[in-house]
């Protein structure tokens, strides 16, 4: 009797999974930052949220729809940082590096940072205003000692 019930349960599970699989589209590639020309470095950072994938690297900031891979927003790092509020307050030096981005599911916010180098080293830190990385961001500039801080980002 138990084996018969288990067989029915497995058959029903298989039918449920098969029905669910019909509604799934598998996206096998994402555009991110591609294109011709030299890229300044391989400092790549990407994150996945509930509806979006976001990449922040030395070539730019790209947001894609998670379900389809459609590019929703693409801009240079300078355009991204100049958009962070208060707008125009963030102007990373040409030699900024170590871009990082992550999504925190508990706060439902995106976090981005990038380190400056040179005599007036700064770390730029931005937080999205919602779970949509194409929306507004608020930021601060954190002064650092003159060194390449090798910045990383995390939430706790």
Quick one: which of 39, 51, 11 has its CA closest to 99? Answer: 39
pLDDT for residue 16: 59
pTM, 2 dp: 0.72
Mean pLDDT of the region 17-39: 59
- Indicate whether 96 belongs to any domain: yes
Mean pLDDT of the region 11-18: 56
pLDDT for residue 52: 95
Is the Cβ–Cβ distance between 62 and 19 less than 8 Å? no
Confidence of residue 72 (pLDDT cuts 50, 70, 90): very high
Q: Is the pLDDT of residue 2 over 60?
A: no
Whole-number percent of the chain with pLDDT over 90: 30
Distance CA 85, CA 63 (A): 18
- Indicate whether 12 belongs to any domain: no
Residues spanned by the domain of 127 = 28-143
- Indicate whether 137 belongs to any domain: yes
Distance CA 135, CA 65 (A): 14
Distance CA 77, CA 151 (A): 16
Is the Cβ–Cβ distance between 146 and 119 less than 8 Å? yes
Please count the structural domains in the chain: 1
- Indicate whether 5 belongs to any domain: no
- Indicate whether 156 belongs to any domain: no
How many residues are listed for the chain in this entry? Answer: 156
Distance CA 20, CA 69 (A): 20
């Amino acid at each position: 009797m138990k084996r018969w019930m288990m067989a029915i349960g497995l058959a029903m599970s298989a039918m449920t999974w098969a029905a669910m699989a019909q509604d799934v589209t598998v996206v096998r590639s994402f555009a991110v930052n591609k294109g011709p020309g030299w890229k300044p470095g391989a400092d790549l950072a990407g994150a996945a949220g509930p509806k979006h994938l976001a990449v922040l690297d030395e070539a730019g900031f790209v947001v894609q729809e998670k379900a389809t891979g459609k590019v929703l927003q693409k801009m240079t790092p300078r355009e991204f940082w100049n958009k962070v509020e208060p707008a125009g307050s963030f102007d990373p030096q040409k030699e900024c590096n170590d871009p990082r981005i992550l999504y925190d599911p508990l706060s439902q916010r995106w976090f981005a940072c990038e380190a400056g180098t040179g005599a007036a080293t700064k770390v730029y830190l931005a937080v999205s205003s919602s779970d949509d990385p194409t929306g507004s961001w608020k930021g601060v500039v954190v002064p650092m000692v003159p060194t390449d801080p090798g910045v990383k980002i995390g939430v706790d």
